[in-house]
Structure 1
Amino acid sequence: MSVVLRPARALDAGQTGEILHLFNSGADWMPKLHSQAETIAFCGAMIDRGWVTVAERDGRVIGFLARDGIEICSLYLRPDQTGQAVGRRLLDSAKSASDTLQLWVFQANTGARRFYARERFTESGRSDGTRNDENLPDIQMIWRKETTA
């Protein structure tokens, strides 16, 4: 079946939290700071704020994007859903709602860095990690809608 994008509902916190927890657990460079229950609660808080769009296939959440204004806070997919344009669809949806988007990506997350570069995000700053909970160096990236003359 096809992928449907929709605003997240409170009951999606479990599935979005599982997706984020799977990423955190699977990245060997990521410090393990939060339990799955804490991660689900974090996703629930983003959903309660109205930030989250989910990608759903056959009634199952397979990815999500959290956006606060122009700031993309999270974009994660189930590991078996990468490479299928689901992340691009979520990002395109965010792009359609804004002329500018920005985000922070960990320097160690080379896959995400390549993805955002393909999606026309450019580096606009770097941090030594003191600004994030994980204390990992990261890169700020920005996307601006192209204007036609």
Structure 2
Amino acid sequence: MRTLDDWLQHWLTLPPREIVLGLDRVGAVWRALGAPPIARRVISVAGTNGKGSTVAFLEAMLSAGGYRVGAFTSPHVLRYHERIRVAGCDVNDADLIHAFTRIEAARGSIVLSYFEAGALAAWLIFAAAELDVAVLEVGLGGRLDAVNLIAPDVAMISSID
């Protein structure tokens, strides 16, 4: 696939169409990719409300403190690139295309969701960026969410309804 739009359409059209929680599939692909460390320290943020704001606050505070920070959130507001930030900047098309190409080659017959493919792409991009801290927003799956495959040094919980 040549463009980011091609890749995003690819991940949207693969089954499963419903949410299939669990870490086995995404874990197998991550191990096939070599499971590199994504940062020196990892912070995960879970909860019902305020996760994205909490990630943004942490990213801003850590960056102001001189740390090289990566942030992963979802969903995006305007552009897919917003989901993955490195050193205060949205990821670019070339880095996403490179990550998705590697994920596709590593997954074999394993089916990944749109969210799982995005999480794996973020981790590959973070691993290459030599981050001090990665701040990860847990998606819909709670403890079975793909983000929880990466063991955090700090786990935060925003409000829960």
Q: TM-score range by the shorter chain?
A: 0.3 to 0.5
Q: Structure 2 length normalisation: TM-score? A: 0.35
Specify which structure has the higher proportion of helix. Answer: 2
Specify which structure has the higher proportion of strand. Answer: 1
Highest RCO, 1 vs 2 (Cα 8 Å, sep ≥ 6): 2
